[in-house]
Structure 1
Amino acid sequence: MNYLDNIFFAIILILGIGYFTLNVKKILRNIKLGRDVNRSDNPSERWKNMAMIALGQSKMVKRPIAGILHIIVYLGFVIINIEVVEIIIDGLFGTHRVLSFMGTFYDILIGSFEILAALVLVSVIIFLVRRNIIKLKRFIHSDLKGWPKSDANYILYFEVVLMTLFLLMNAADYHLQNVSGGFMDFHPAGSFPISQYISTLFDGVSNGTVYIIERTAWWLHIVGILIFLNYLYFSKHLHILLAFPNTYFADLNPKGQFDNLESVTNEVKLMMDPNADPFAAAPADAVPAKFGANDVQDLNWVQLMNAYTCTECGRCTSACPANITGKKLSPRKIMMDTRDRLVEVGNNIDANKGVFVPDNKTLLNDYITPEELWACTSCNACVEECPVNISPLSIIMDMRRYLVMEQSAAPMSLNAMMTNVENNGAPWQYSQQDRLNWKNEN
C-alpha cells in the first residue's frame, strides 16, 4: 500500500468517524430535551442489570431460538470487529497483518473470527427466512410497514455482505500467503479454518488477480463497516450501542409502582400549607407546571433514550393482552412514534439554529391516539418482555395523566368511577352505608 493509499484511507476514516460523532451529538441533544430524572440510586444493581441483560443477553434467551441466534450475531459483531483495529493500523501505516507478531494467539484469534463469521452468516440467513418467508406474526404486524420493515432487512443484508467480504478477503490472503517463493508482503500469518477451503476457488487464477480481489474485499470491508456505523443513526440498530446505558438507567422500582408527579405534589403541599399564599405573584416568565405529557419534551430523558433504544422486535406487542384481543394498542408503535416525533423535534431545532419553533404538532393525537392509550391494561407485560428493559407503559401512563388532569378527557366509564370514588369512597355507585349489602343476598 503506497502513501496515497494511506492518505486516502485516513481521509475515509476521519470522515466516517467524524460524521458518526456529529450524529451521536444530535442523539444526546435530543435525549436531553426530556425532563430530568434521577437514576443514580443503587449503582451495584444497575451494573448487574447492564452486565446480565445488555452484555449477557439474559432476557433474549426467554425465546431460545431467536435468543441463541441473536447471541451468535451479537458475539460476531463484537469479536470480529476486534480485527478492525488491525485493519485500521494496516490502512494508516501500509503494513499487512501487523498483529501477527502475537504468534499462536493471533492464529487462535483469526480462527475464532472465521468460525464466528460462518455462524453469523447462518444465523442471519435464518433471520431473513423468519422475517420474509415464514413471516412470523410480530414481523408482519400493521405497525411494522414501510421503512421499519425495510430497515430490519437492510441490516441483515449488510451483515451478510460484511461477513462474506471478511471470509473472501481472508481466502485471498491465505492463497497469497502460500504462493511458492512468497508474494509481496503476504507472509504466513493466522489460521483460516473456513476460508482455506474458499481459497480453492483461486486455483489457477493469476496472483495479480487474486491480489486485486484481496485488496478489493479489504477496502469494501472497512468502508462497509464505516457505512454500517453511520447507518446506525438512521436505524433501529442504535440498540447495539444504547442497550448498555438503557439497562443501566432503567427503573428499579417494582413493576406497577408509579411515581407521584412533582407538579401535583407541589400543588397539594401548597393547598395543605396554612401559611402559603396561593395568590403570591409568580415570576413573569414562569411556565405553569404541566400534569403528564403531551409531547416528547414532557417525557423524561430516560423515556426518550428508551425510544432510541427500541429494537422493534415486537416482543412487547406480541405479549400485550390488549393487542392480542384486537385493540389498537401496540407498545412497539408507542416507542416508534415517540422516536419519530423526537427526531422531528430535533430536525426542527437544527433547521432553526438551535431553537424549537412550534410546529402545531404533538406526540399525543398527531402520533399516538387516546384510543391506543386507553386500551392499555397497565399489566406490565410489555415491560417484562422487552429484552433491553424499555418501558412503553411509563409513556402511556404519563400521556394518560395529561388527558385526565389537563384536558379532563378520560372515557365516560373512568369519569364515572372517579366520581364514585369521590362521592362514595369506592368505584361503585353505592353509598357507604349500603356497601356491605351484598352479604345479605344469600
Structure 2
Amino acid sequence: MSFGLSNVIFLLALFTAIYFFAKNVKKIRRNILLARDSLRTDQPATRWKIMTRVALGQSKMVVNPVAGLFHIVIYAGFLLINIEVLEIVLDGILGTHRLFAQPLGALYTAAINFFEILAVAVIVACVVFLWRRNVMKIDRFRKPELQGWPFRDANYILIIEIVLMIALLSIGAAEANMENPPAGPFIISSLLAPVFSGLSQDGLHIAERIAWWAHILGILAFLNYLPFSKHFHIILSFPNTWYAKLTPYGKFPIHQRVKKEVELMLDPHADPYTAPSDQSQESSEKFGAKDVMDLTWVNVLNAYACTECGRCTAECPANQTGKKLSPRKIMMDVRDRAEEIGRIIDANGGKFVDDGKSLLDHYITREEIWACTSCNACVEACPVLIDPLDIIMQLRQYVVMEEAKAPQSLNLMMTNVENNGAPWQFAQADRANWVYQ
C-alpha cells in the first residue's frame, strides 16, 4: 500500500464528481417539489412489492422479449459491475491494486470472470440497441419529440457504456501479459491478452494504468452526465414505482369542492346561501393545472423518471391514427418546463419570476390533450409505471373549469346530459323508442 500524487488526484476527481452530482440532484429535487403536494405513502408493503418487482425485477420490460432481454443484461451489468467499481474506488483512495484479490482468493477470480463475461454481454446489448435505433429505424424511435438531443442522448449513453466496458476489459488484458499479475487468470482477459502482447513490462503497466484511469474517470463523468440525461431513470425508477398510483386505472380523483357543490344540489334541506367554514380557503384553489406548479410532485417525478422508450406512444390509439398526441412528449414537456422554471429560479436568486409561459399552450397544445381517449393504454405500457393520463386530465380540467373553453362537441354533450340525462340530443321520454323500431 502506497499513497502518492496519483491518490491525491484520484481523491480530487472523486470528491469533485460527488459534489457536482449532489448539486445537480438537489436542483432536480427542487424542481420536482415546485409542484403541489400529494400523499402517496399508503399501503407501504404493497409499494415495496411493486418497486421490487417492477424497478428491481424489470418485470414490465420483458413484455417485449428481445428488447427486454438485452435491457436486463445492461441493467444487470450496471448493478453488478459496480461491485468491482467499489474495489477500484478503494484502490484509488488507499493506493492499493486489486484490494480484494488476496483475501477472497478463488472467489475473487470467479467473481471477476463473471463480471468480464457480463461486460462482454453489455457490449453486445449496446451494439444491438445502437443497431435498433440507427439502422432498423423502429417507428417509436423516429417520432418528432425524439429528434435532436433526445436521439443523440440515447446514442451517447450506449457508446459510453461500450467504452467503459472496453476499458474494464483492457485492465485485465494488460495484466494477463505481466510476469507477476496481481490476480487471475481470467477467461475474457486471457482471450484479449494478445492485444497487448507486443508491449514491454513497463509498457504493460502504463497500458493498465491508462485503462484503469479511463474506466474510473469515465464512470465519474458518466455520473455527472446522468442528471442531464434521460438515463437518470436508472435512479428515479425506484422512487417512481414506489409512489405509483395504486387505485384502479379508470378511477379519477374526486375534487372536494365539486363534491360539496353536488351534495348541496342533491340535499333538499341544504341552504345554498350558507357558506362552509372553509369556503374562503377553497375558493382560492385552482381547478386542474395550467403549469408545472399546479401539477403534483408525483407528476413531475414521473417526468424525470421517463425512459423515453416510447412504449406509451406506440400503444396510444390516438397517436396510431395520426393525431398529435404522444404520451412520451407529454412527459418530456413536463420535464422541460420544470427545467426551464428551475433555470429562472437560479437566475433570480432563488425566486421564480413569471416568464409569460406555461405548460399548457407553450409546451402542450390543446389539440394534444383533447386527442386523448383516456383509455390508459399508455399507463399500462410504461415499464416504470408513469401516468401521462393524470397530467392530461388535469390540463383538461383547467381548460373546462377555469377557462370554460371546452370544445364545442363536449359542451353539447354536457348540455345534453344536464337537460336530458344522456349525451344524446333528444328528450328522456324518447330514449326507449329504439326498442319499438
Q: Please, which runs of 5 or more residues in structure 2 have no aligned partner?
A: none
| CA displacement at 1:24 relative to structure 2 | 1.1
Q: Equivalents in 1 of 2:75, 2:124: separation in Å?
A: 13
Q: 1:432 to 1:269 in 2, by over 3 A?
A: closer
| Paired position in structure 1 for 2:247 | 253
Kindly state the Cα deviation for residue 144 of structure 1 after the two structures are TM-superposed: 0.8
Give the structure 2 partner of residue 12 of structure 1. Answer: 13
CA gap of 1:316–1:432, structure 2 versus 1, over 3 A, is same
2:204 match:
210
What residue in structure 2 maps to residue 410 of structure 1? 406
Unaligned runs of 5+ in 1: none
Q: Residue in 1 aligned with 2:139? A: 137
Distance apart, 1:202 and its partner CA: 2.0
Q: Secondary structure at the match of 1:26?
A: helix
Task: Tell me, yes or no, if the aligned pair for 1:86 and 1:99 is still in contact at 8 Å.
Answer: yes
Runs of at least 4 residues off by over 6 Å: 269-272, 279-283
Which residue in the other structure is 2:43 paired with? 42
Confirm or deny that 1:99 pairs with 2:97: no
| Aligned ranges 1:111-130 → 2 under 5 Å | 111-130=113-132
Corresponding residue SS for 2:115 = helix
**Distance in 2 (alpha carbons) for counterparts of 1:190 and 1:360:** 63
Aligned residue in 1 for 2:229: 235
In structure 1, C-alpha distance between the alignment counterparts of 2:124 and 2:308, rounded to whole Å: 22
**Corresponding letter in the other structure for 2:429:** Q
The TM-score normalised by the length of structure 1 is 0.94
Query: Higher mean Cα deviation, 63-72 or 78-87?
Result: 78-87
Do the aligned residues in 1 keep the contact of 2:3 with 2:94 (CA within 8 Å)? no
For 2:70, the equivalent position in structure 1 comes to 69
Q: Residue type matched to 1:205 in 2? A: L
Q: Within 5 Å, give how 1:50-89 maps onto structure 2.
A: 50-89=51-90
Give the aligned residue type for 1:170: G
Out of 250, 258, 262, the residue aligned to residue 264 of structure 1 is 258
The one-letter code sitting in structure 1 at the alignment partner of 2:199 is: V
- Cα distance in 1, alignment partners of residues 297 and 256 from structure 2: 16
Tell me the CA shift for residue 347 of structure 1. 1.0
**Structure-2 residue corresponding to 1:154:** 156
> What is the CA-CA distance between 1:286 and the residue it aligns to?
9.1
Structure-2 residue corresponding to 1:327: 323
When the two structures are superposed, what TM-score results if normalisation uses the length of structure 2? 0.95
| Closer, same or farther: CA 247–90 of 1 in aligned 2, 3 Å | same
Opposite residue 103 of structure 1, the aligned amino acid is G
2:38 touches 2:297 (CA, 8 Å); kept in 1? yes
RMSD: 1.9
C-alpha distance in 2 between matches for 1:94 and 1:84: 15
Q: Secondary structure at the match of 1:358?
A: coil
Distance in 2 (CA, whole Å) between partners of 1:263 and 1:148 is 41
Give the CA deviation at 1:275: 8.6
C-alpha separation in 2, matches of 1:46 and 1:115: 34
CA distance in 2, matches of 1:191, 1:405: 70
Secondary structure at the counterpart of residue 67 of structure 1 = helix
Letter in 1 for 2:159: Y
Please state how far the C-alpha of 1:417 moved relative to its aligned partner.
0.1
